[in-house]
Amino acid sequence: MELKKMNCVPITGKEPPLTSGETAEYQKQAPDWTISEKSGEKQLAREFRFGDFASALAFTQKVGALAEAQDHHPAILTEWGRVTVAWWTHKIHGLHQNDFIMAAKTDDLYAKAKMELAAQKSPPRD
């Protein structure tokens, strides 16, 4: 199933982090995301580019609304022209399927945001 169509599941903290094989399989649906380690925890991160601060901030708000709806919250850094989003599951100190679900959903939000921006810049049709 497509990750972007899935919903996050509640985490108890007893689940193990994903294995490297599971991570590789999920990353096929989130290929633009990089995996890094911070403070001993694997994280999934991606930088999104925009033409101005207002667009970056609007995207940040959409990611925040998505995070609230799924009850899974990222680290978000909003700067002029870019937003960096990092997903990981705090309770298990690493990556879970939920992180890849949210990465795929974030990619989908970005694609829609770029289409909206392009439509706003297009001249009106007669």
**Length of the chain (residues):** 126
Tokens of 23: 């991570």
Question: Is 5 domain-assigned?
Answer: no
Question: Is 126 domain-assigned?
Answer: no
Query: Residue 116: its pLDDT value, please?
Result: 85
Question: Is 9 domain-assigned?
Answer: no
Query: Residue 75: its pLDDT value, please?
Result: 97
Which residues, in sequence order, are CB contacts of 14 under 8 Å at separation 6+? none
Q: What residue numbers bound the domain in which 73 lies? A: 17-117
Query: Residue 121: its pLDDT value, please?
Result: 74
Residue 71's region, left for phi above 0, alpha for psi from -120 to 50, else beta, is left
**One digit per residue, pLDDT tens: the chain, 126 residues?**
899 999 999 999 999 999 999 999 999 999 999 999 998 999 999 999 999 999 999 999 999 999 999 999 999 999 999 999 999 999 999 999 999 999 999 999 999 998 888 887 766 665
What CATH number does residue 81 fall under?
Answer: 3.30.1360.20
Give the C-alpha separation, 107 to 45, whole Å.
Answer: 11
Task: Specify the number of domains making up the chain.
Answer: 1
Question: Is 8 domain-assigned?
Answer: no
